[in-house]
Structure 1
């Protein structure tokens, strides 16, 4: 397939959050007879593709087709029923099809699947009833998918010292998302080329090495269009560097919506409030401020007087967090009587774009987002609020914490810096703070680099030049900092003192060797004892984990620190 320059696409249509049988999703009713279901990738790849995938759904909805995207069980904001099983994932697609046909009134259904989601979409379509099927870089075999994940895991999971954590026998994880032995066994049995019936009359396949699958579907009687998918690595490689493959998405929109006929009557809404319930917790999708989105978790039982936790994910990860950390922590806290709000800053996840498409990383504008979130919580009776953030999210949380008296505490993980200057290079800092920046971030932008990394062809001299440039940039930043005006609120210690005087509590957590530790020593204390006196609590240094604290042991330690902070803020011994 030849990719023509993508035409200007219609303005995306605002979707509404819905919950269907424990699945959290976003739905646009549309005006056409056709409905389109987006079957996203899974785990780390979907976390990376979240924002572009949301945009694709909006573009399809803008054509008038009813559109539904959703989180699989055990992922994003869905419940954990059947989490991490092939049957549960296929059942989710079946439920989505039922919703479009029976509740939204669609007479035609299109499945659009990305990566393993494309594999799942193809398997679900083999059961019949699908009119069109679009597969973006589908995994033809489950064994092939598992091999890819094993190859990518060392770069994604790399620890701060350059080593890779040891996985239990039979287990594999990528970016904190696990693939257990039972799921791996189910996936290993998949081979789409063994299909005995066409999954749909019309099929679009984009990606490398898809000829065999395209020929198989054509032999079964399907009309198959195939082509390349340039930009795949940038789409699913890392949330920080995710980019939209414009040409491929234009092909998908055209294929999914071609020939869709208008409905004779208005499409009914999907009557499903965006509320979820689990073991001891209740959740509701909420909007507040100028287009901000979050998930408000509450205890299912009576209130305990605990503070409310406000989670802000690291970097450009959606509100569920790296490895789904925020979702898991929020539900565990709610079951123990602690409410929370996990939010997307503007330009991240499911919140609205920032003006001009600006990046939210280390931006002073995020203060407005925090203010709107605190206003929302205050209007709903929340008293004391504890902020939880990591990396750039920790920076934004610190700036809000010392300014707003409604903040009673903050847990900041891997805080890179206490202050940011507009002249600083965000991209350079991001690549330094991400543990795999010298490898993974680079390979995302250049497919040839990816192949060289996976085959062990790594240029040592090139790495040395990267490290030298990094050192020179660091020296240049420190020199410029000497001539900058003092930040609002005075020195870092003065602002920490401002928080402590009003009774707020601050906890800092770092992974061993994290690039943010020099700023801690420079501004707070060069010895652990001095830093502890000034902060009012010791700084926790977590060994054997990555920048995102993805390992189970690191998550357990972080959870314990947060529980202790909650107890202190609540006045419990």
Structure 2
């Protein structure tokens, strides 16, 4: 069910949420007779492409074509499938086609991206037009490419590849289990004995052989390049929409029938029944989609049984849509609901399904994005779900800290891998993120590697870029070194001053870090190196999770965060809280296996 902050429905031009069995989707009605179904790719690649895929849906819908996009079962905001993942994905595509025809579409066009194109061609359903964007010829090719990408994407703090589970493949925290890999191995477009559609547009490299196969089966096939594929599906932070390619897609799926076809006299369209409410629910949880504030989109996940009265607010990390890195936030929300705790996951402006920022900039570490967090708190308060705890990872932790300081309705924040408490105005965030988070080693460390100098000699690495990075890193080190000087700590606007103020109102901060995370020196700089002193100042000891990566990709790492979050929610309930500013550091709870409290020694 979709509501806005006033409890009213969305504007007619906005897509509305729909349920397709286990799949969750967005439908944009239109007066056209040709419906368009967008079948995204899987996992990490779709996570990168999510925002652009939404833009493609809007481009197509603007032509008047009823347009539907969706998350496959087990991905995004959809339910977990009851059976194997690949058959469930095929069923979801068929359900999407049936939905469009039920809504009056006389023809249906399908746009498939990467593995989504492969799956769409194998459904056996009736499709009038098919766009295949860089399709995989089969599931084995998809698996090979994902295995190569996993070695680059999923790395431990020492930059070694993350260990993989036997007979499974994890990429970007998305896990392909043994049954999924086996089902993928059986996908093969070359063995098709019938064409998937009479008209096909195929864009991408190495598509000529498949195009000839479909022509031999009777399809009219157009081919072309996809020059901007890499910028769409390989970088979640800096993904770019391939405007020219998407314009070709829009024109193909929305084109009028050939001139040889006799025009049909216009007839009145039958009056369609209203869309049923979008019900997202399972045994332990129920979810409601809402728009609020400046067009923001979020999902409230509530327990199906009794509610404890607690609500956790979760903020985007980086440009990850509200489902989170590897769908972690969706899984966390439903796990919290099963334990009686509600949660709200939403998209800041510029992320997921929320509108663009007014200046078109990235939302990473944007100081004004805290207004979006405030809008979410206001929205929840109006529904009786005022959040007590806010959770954020990396850039989301930055926003969570700012929100905790500025909004007395929040009682605690769980800050995971916080890089910095503040960012100086005018900072080039994109350059900072590219240089800092892409390279856990300093330039000094890399200078001892031969490949570093080879990149300089070949012109691949600019000396000016290195100089700027060294100046920025030096300024950051100076800032940390002077963070605890009297002229800074005595200021009410300092980090220490703001934390002291929120502690006086009874709020607490729980900081969680992956081992060797780049943000750990920030804690030492502002609060010292004595563990007990840090715990008194924040309200909790800092937790270091040994053997984890920055994104907490593995299920065991996510279990640790879940246990910590549950503890913070329990500790900070109004009825269980005393004067937190006056009380000593909370007693240590039994450790979750693998958790290490932060040891502030010079050698540690």
TM-score (ref. length: structure 1): 0.89
Q: Is the 8 A contact 1:38 1:69 kept in 2?
A: yes
Q: Is the 8 A contact 1:162 1:435 kept in 2?
A: no
Q: 2:506 aligns with which of 493, 498, 503?
A: 503
Give SS of 1:365's match.
Answer: helix
Deviates more, 1:32-41 or 1:273-282: 273-282
1:165 alignment counterpart: 162
Shift of 1:529: 3.5
What do you get for the CA RMSD once the two structures are aligned? 2.5
1:209 alignment counterpart: 206
Aligned 1:76-225 pairs, distance under 5 A: 76-82=76-82, 85-102=85-102, 104-124=103-123, 127-225=124-222
Structure with higher Rg: it is: 2
User: 1:486 & 1:258 partners in 2: Cα distance?
Assistant: 64
Q: Indicate yes or no: 2:523 matched with 1:526.
A: no
Q: Size of the alignment, in residue pairs?
A: 539
Q: Indicate yes or no: 2:52 matched with 1:52.
A: yes
Shift of 1:376: 0.7
Give SS of 2:433's match.
Answer: helix
User: 1:243 & 1:17 partners in 2: Cα distance?
Assistant: 25
Q: Is the 8 A contact 2:74 2:85 kept in 1?
A: no
Listed one character per residue, the Cα deviations across residues 172-213 of structure 1 (whole Å, up to 9, x for unaligned) are 000100011111111111110111011100001111111111
Deviates more, 1:400-409 or 1:251-260: 251-260
Q: Is the 8 A contact 1:171 1:180 kept in 2?
A: yes
Q: 2:288 aligns with which of 284, 287, 298?
A: 284
Deviates more, 1:285-294 or 1:423-432: 423-432
1:492 alignment counterpart: 495
1:473 alignment counterpart: 472
Q: Is the 8 A contact 1:45 1:236 kept in 2?
A: yes
Q: Is the 8 A contact 1:16 1:28 kept in 2?
A: yes
Runs (5+) with no aligned partner, structure 1: 1-11, 439-456
Q: Is the 8 A contact 2:226 2:245 kept in 1?
A: yes
Give SS of 2:411's match.
Answer: strand
Q: Is the 8 A contact 2:202 2:221 kept in 1?
A: yes
Shift of 1:489: 4.9
User: 1:133 & 1:170 partners in 2: Cα distance?
Assistant: 33
Q: Is the 8 A contact 2:392 2:414 kept in 1?
A: yes
Q: 1:330 aligns with which of 328, 333, 343?
A: 333
Shift of 1:480: 8.0
1:546 alignment counterpart: 549
Listed one character per residue, the Cα deviations across residues 315-351 of structure 1 (whole Å, up to 9, x for unaligned) are 0110000010100000011111101100100111001
Give SS of 2:572's match.
Answer: helix
Listed one character per residue, the Cα deviations across residues 90-144 of structure 1 (whole Å, up to 9, x for unaligned) are 0000100110012x110100110001111111111xx141000001111111111
Q: Is the 8 A contact 1:142 1:188 kept in 2?
A: yes
1:246 alignment counterpart: 243
User: 2:212 & 2:165 partners in 1: Cα distance?
Assistant: 39
Q: CA separation of 1:384/1:256 partners in 2, compared to 1, >3 Å: closer, same or farther? A: closer
1:304 alignment counterpart: 308
Q: 2:225 aligns with which of 213, 222, 228?
A: 228
Q: CA separation of 1:324/1:270 partners in 2, compared to 1, >3 Å: closer, same or farther? A: farther
1:462 alignment counterpart: 455
User: 1:392 & 1:435 partners in 2: Cα distance?
Assistant: 14
User: 1:393 & 1:268 partners in 2: Cα distance?
Assistant: 42
Shift of 1:469: 5.7
Q: CA separation of 1:25/1:548 partners in 2, compared to 1, >3 Å: closer, same or farther? A: same
Q: CA separation of 1:414/1:84 partners in 2, compared to 1, >3 Å: closer, same or farther? A: farther
User: 2:332 & 2:312 partners in 1: Cα distance?
Assistant: 10
Q: Is the 8 A contact 1:36 1:68 kept in 2?
A: yes
Q: Is the 8 A contact 1:77 1:327 kept in 2?
A: yes
Shift of 1:57: 0.2
User: 1:290 & 1:63 partners in 2: Cα distance?
Assistant: 25
Give SS of 2:67's match.
Answer: strand
Shift of 1:520: 1.3
Q: Is the 8 A contact 1:128 1:200 kept in 2?
A: no
1:454 alignment counterpart: none
Deviates more, 1:268-277 or 1:159-168: 268-277
Deviates more, 1:264-273 or 1:312-321: 264-273
